[in-house]
Amino acid sequence: MHITSPAFKKNAHRALNDAGLQKALKHARPMFTGNRARAVANLPEFEQLRDIGRDIKNHTLANLDWYLETYAANVERAGGHVHWCSTADEARAKVLEICRSVGARTVTKGKSMISEELGINEHLAKHGITPVETDLGEYILQIRDEGPSHIIAPAFHLNLEDWEKTFRAVHTDLPADRVFGDRRDILAEARTRLREKFLAADVGITGANFLIAETGSSVIVTNEGNGDLTQTLPRIHIALASIEKVVPTLEDATSLLRLLARSATGQDFSVYTTFSTGARRAADLDGPEQYHVVLIDNGRSNMMGTDFQEMLRCIRCAACMNHCPVYGATGGHAYGWVYPGPMGSVLTPTLIGVEKAGHLPNASTFCGKCESVCPVKIPLPKMMRHWREREFERHLSPASVRGGLKVWSWFAKRPAAYRLATRAMIAALGLLGRKKGAFRSLPMAGGWTEGRDLPVPEGGTFMARYAATQRGKRP
C-alpha cells in the first residue's frame, strides 16, 4: 500500500473538508460506540475479562518463542505447513510460490490487515494472478482502488450513492437500468458476483485472529461467511498471520473472543468463528487439500523488550479508533497507511519508521479514551508519548517546534524567570487588547488563532491569584 503518512497534516485537512466522509463519520461513529456500550453493559464481567485478556497476552509474549515453536510443531503434526518469514518480501515471495505450485489463476481473499500490510494483492497481480477480495467492504475498495479506512469496517467512508455508482460502473454485463432500491439489492448483487469467484478460485487466502499453540489451529472471525468460503472451497488455504497472534490454549482464545466482538461491533459473538487445523482428511467431502500458514514477523520481534512491546497485545478490535476524537474528525485515510487511529499511531512508526510516521503520534489529544476502551488495556497514550520523545531526540520534529519547546523548557525549569515573563506578557497583552476584549489573530500563533479567539488576559497570573487566595484562607 502506498504510504502517505508523512503528509498527515495535509491529509487531515482534506478529510475535514470532505463532505461525503464527514457524513459517513457522523453516521457511523455513534453506532460503533453505542453498540459497544450496549454489549458491555450486558456482560457484568466485562471489566474482569479485560484484565484476563491483558494477562493472557502478557503471559504469551513473555514466552513467545516457546509458544511459536510449539504452535508450529502442532500445525505440522496436523498435516499443515508453517513458513516463517522475517520480512514482507519473504512473505510475498512465499505466497506467490505456493500459488504457482498449483498454477493458480485466481485467488480469493478474506479480509486481512496483514495482507494489506504486505501488499499481497499488488504482488500477485504483478505476476499474473488475479486476487479477489471477498469481504463486501474490501471488494468495493478493490474495485475503487482505495485502501481501507478502518480495520474492521474497511469501507465505512462510503455512502450508499458511492456503492451504487461503483457497482453500475463495473458490473457492466448487468442491465444498465436495474434498480437499486436499497442496501439489500447491493448485497444481493455482490453475493451473486462473488459466488462465481469463490467457486472458481484455486487458492484462498485468509488472515488469522488467533493461532492456538495447543492444537496448531488458526482462527478467523467474520460475519459474512466470506472467510469460510475462501478457506473451504479452493484446493489450497493459506492463512497469513503475524507472530503476536499466538495464544496458548483454546480456553485462552475463548476468553479473548468474549472481548473481541463486543469491543469491535458490539455483538456478543461474531456470526462465524472458525478454527482450522490441517488440511482435508482422507474421508472428508470438502475442504482444501493443503493448509499453509505464512507466519510473519515484519518488524514485530524488534518491539520485544522495548517501550512498545505491549502493543503486541492488540487483537485488532478497532475500539480505540471508534472512540478517538481525532479519528472521528479525519477518518482513517488521513493516517496514510494500513492501521489508523490510536493503535495505528503507535504501530505504524514501528513498522514503517518514525521518520515517515512521526506525525501520527502527535495527532492525539491525550484524552485517554482509547486506553479506557481497549479490551487488552494497552496504554496507547503512554506509547504515543514515547514516540514523541523519540521524534524529539532524533531531531525529526520541525525547527519551530524544537525551538519553541526549548524556550519553554528553559523558563519551566526557572520558576522565578517564568513568573516574571508571564507577568510581563499578561500586562502587555492586557494593555494591547484592552479595547477589543479578544485577539482574532496573534503573531507566531496563526495556526492556533485560525480556529478560535484568545481572550484578553485580565488581572494577574495564575500563580499570583493562587498565592492571594492561599493568603486569604489562612486563619
Partner 1 sequence: MSKDAILGAIRRGLRRGPLPADQAAMLEGRLATHPRHLIPARSRIPRPDQIALFIRNVEKEFGTVARVDGPEAVPGAVADWLAGQNLPPRFVMAPHPDLLALPWSDRPMLTFEARRGEGSDTVSVQHGWAAVAETGTLLFPSDPTRPTTLNLLPESEIVVLRASRIVGAYEEAWDLLRAERQDAETGGFMPRNLMFVTGPSRSADIEQTLELGAHGPRRLHVVLVEDDPAAR
Which of partner 1, ligand SF4, none has residue 372 at its interface (CB below 5 to 8 Å by kind)? none
Cα 150-152-153 angle, rounded to 5 deg = 65
Burial-class residue 149 by CB neighbours within 10 Å (0-12, 13-18, 19+): buried
Mask: binding to partner 1, 436-455, rule CB under 8 A, as x and -?
A: --------------------
In sequence order, what are the beta bridge partners of 291? Answer: 237
Q: Which of 15, 64, 346, 426 binds partner 1 (CB under 8 A)?
A: 64
What would the DSSP string read from start to end of 151-209?
A: SSSTTTT--HHHHHHHHHHH-TTS-TT----SHHHHHHHHHHHHHHHHHH-SEEEE--S
Task: Tell me the closest approach of the beta carbon of residue 313 to ligand SF4, in angstroms.
Answer: 7
Contact set for ligand SF4, span 306-335 (CB under 6 A): 314-320
C-alpha cell belonging to residue 353:
519508521
Q: How far is the CB of 341 from ligand SF4 (least distance, A)?
A: 7
Residue 267, amino acid: Q
How big is the site for partner 1, counted in residues (CB under 8 A)? Answer: 107
Binder of partner 1 out of 17, 19, 41, 44 (CB under 8 A): 44
Q: Choose which of 1, 7, 37, 52 interacts with partner 1 (CB under 8 A).
A: 52
Q: Is the dihedral of CA 180, 185, 186, 191 positive or negative?
A: negative
Residue 304 touches which member of partner 1, ligand SF4, none, C-beta under 5-8 Å by kind: partner 1
Residue 317, interface with partner 1 (CB under 8 A)? no
Q: Which of residues 243-282 bind partner 1 (CB under 8 A)?
A: 243, 248-252, 254-255, 257-258, 265, 267-282
Contact between 463 and 419 under an 8 Å Cβ cutoff? The reply is: yes
Q: Minimum CB separation from ligand SF4 for residue 323, in Å? A: 8
In the 8-state DSSP scheme, what is residue 108? E
Other CB atoms within a 10 A radius of the CB of residue 384 amount to 21
- Identity of the residue, 43 or 429, whose beta carbon is nearer to partner 1 in the bound complex: 43
> Pick from 2, 17, 19, 45: which binds partner 1 (CB under 8 A)?
45
Partner whose binding site includes residue 376, from ligand SF4, partner 1, none (CB under 5 to 8 Å by kind): ligand SF4
What does 129 interact with, of partner 1, ligand SF4, none (CB < 5 to 8 A by kind)? none
Contacts of 313 (CB under 8 A, 6+ apart): 53, 54, 57, 58, 61, 244, 376, 377, 378
Q: What is the 3-state secondary structure (H, E, C) of 310-329?
A: HHHHCCCCCHHHHCCHHHHH
Q: Centre a 10 Å sphere on the Cβ of residue 72 and count the other Cβ atoms it contains.
A: 21
Does the footprint of partner 1 cover residue 305 (CB under 8 A)? yes
Contacts with ligand SF4, residue ranges (CB under 6 A): 263, 314-320, 343, 374-376, 378, 380
